[in-house]
Amino acid sequence: MTVHALQADATPANPSQFDILYRAWRRAKAEWELAENAPDKPLGLEIEETDAFCDVEQAALNAMLLHPAGELADVVRKLRAFQTEEVYDANNVREVLVRIHKDVRRFAYGFE
């Protein structure tokens, strides 16, 4: 019987700055979800708590999206986050799209 690892991505020995930012965003998102579903909070979070988690998660998401991609797989991660998090409704959607466009140009043509 073959055993498959449940971990989606192997942790690189020397993670890139993008990897660190991506993981920070995923962690902020997970911490928010855990807090919302905590057994001691059957009615959910207070508005102030929700706002605080939202601010942290959005800051981490923006940091990741606006950081230059180190490899093409990073662009895929950005686009997946853009879609799943509905970033197209964000105030800085133009800035995010400009950054993604620069990333794609660099991989396609070797320059931004």
24-33 pLDDT per residue, tens:
999 999 999 9
Q: Is residue 10, in this structure, part of any structural domain at all?
A: no
Q: Is residue 5, in this structure, part of any structural domain at all?
A: no
Q: Is residue 99, in this structure, part of any structural domain at all?
A: yes
Q: Is residue 76, in this structure, part of any structural domain at all?
A: yes
Mean pLDDT calculated for residue range 13-17? 93
Q: Is residue 94, in this structure, part of any structural domain at all?
A: yes
Q: Is residue 57, in this structure, part of any structural domain at all?
A: yes
Per the structure, the complete domain to which residue 64 belongs is given by: 17-109
Q: Quick one: DSSP state of residue 90? A: S
Give 36-73 as a DSSP string.
HT-TT-TT---HHHHHHHHHHHHHHHHHHHHSPPSSHH
Q: Total domain count for the chain?
A: 1
Q: Is residue 25, in this structure, part of any structural domain at all?
A: yes
**For residue 23, pLDDT beyond 60:** yes
**For residue 3, pLDDT beyond 90:** no
**For residue 81, pLDDT beyond 70:** yes
Q: What is the pTM of this model?
A: 0.85
Q: Is residue 30, in this structure, part of any structural domain at all?
A: yes
Q: What is the predicted pLDDT for the residue at 13? A: 81
Mean pLDDT calculated for residue range 82-107? 95
Residue 4's identity, in one-letter code, is H
Measured between alpha carbons, how far is 2 from 25 in angstroms, rounded to an integer? 32
Of 66, 57, 80, nearest in space to 9 by CA: 80
Distances (CA, A) of 26 to 6, 7, 20, 29, 105: 17, 14, 10, 5, 26
